[in-house]
Structure 1
Amino acid sequence: MGEVDAESRGDHSSNWRAPYRRVLIAIPVGIAVLEAVTVAWGWAAGNRQLLKDGLDWSYDVALYGVAALTFGREARAERAVAGFVAAVMAAAGAHTLYDLWDKIVAPRPIEFVALGFAAVSAVAAALAILAGLWRFRRIDHPIVQATWLSSRNDAISTTLYSVLNLAARATPELRWPEYALDLLAAALAFQASFAILSTLLRERRREKP
């Protein structure tokens, strides 16, 4: 009954904490390795888009890394981390909008090999993270909700990006689907930030006498 009961009871059981901590530690380590490979390739090839894709992983390394370091500490520290994650998600949304503007002003060339590597690695990483956090998604805990919402957003946006990138290779003159997806990704990031802050407010209300 362990995991199912832990989910249904929210944060009232600690059975989920040890497996969640292991997943939380593995995620930033794996992402950091992928980021290093992508950035090194983009730098060596002089590929601006691939370099940008690699640096984008920094958000996830920071998000999951800080969450892993503080999970299980006092409630105040966990709430602070959840607030940090909400800020990171809001920053990611703003960065996505800026990147959209930059794409419109200076359209980037489409390169088959680099784009294929970035798309496949991003989807694989996003789905692996989503699978790792899936069983914890119903636990009403600030850090759990923060990491779950982040993984959900990544899985949706990266999968859609990959499909649109394939379409872009076939019809390089068609750019509006990519721009529309940027708007969706930004909206998801802002929604996640709002949801995390809402969870924090519920936690504070429960603590009040």
Structure 2
Amino acid sequence: MKYLFLALIGVFASCNAQDKTPKKTKPQTTQSTKNMKIIYNYTFEDINGDTYNFADLKGKKIIILNTASKCGYTKQYDALEKIYQTYKDDNLVIVGFPSDNFGGQEFEDNEEIASFCKLNYGVSFPLMSKSDVKGNEQNDIFKFLTKKAVNGKSDHEVKWNFTKFLINTDGTLETSYPSATLPDDPKIISWIENK
């Protein structure tokens, strides 16, 4: 009986000791970080028909824009290429999405688009396959860029060709600028240079 009593005291003491052991807690997750979505989850077909994996751009700043070869804003390709050449070694990538959503201002096929961009503007930054950037057939990248429910930050509207979206080095959406905002606008350059 004496041994049974001692055994019960030992069990009781060890149970109490376990209760006093600090419990591991999960890291705090704020509402804003929990809802953050990133571009790295996406792939897309590039203008040559190859898979372009946005996860390969981790740690880089990204400017994504919808383009068109026969638009009044098409000459922005010059500034975009200059910016790309200036900052590509400082972790900047520009990605163009040719689209025919506004006024039928893009060529019919990818080969013609690629040739036009290279010959007329020397474009060397990545171009994707022609796709819709708005409407019922909107591609998944532009759903991410334009819908708060997908990007976790804010809604943005694509009103015309050469709408620019800025993606931070962690893959989150920073903001967007309309067509009339030039690629070398001080606000965009400041964002690029801000380490």
Return the TM-score normalized by structure 1. Answer: 0.30
Higher relative strand content: 2
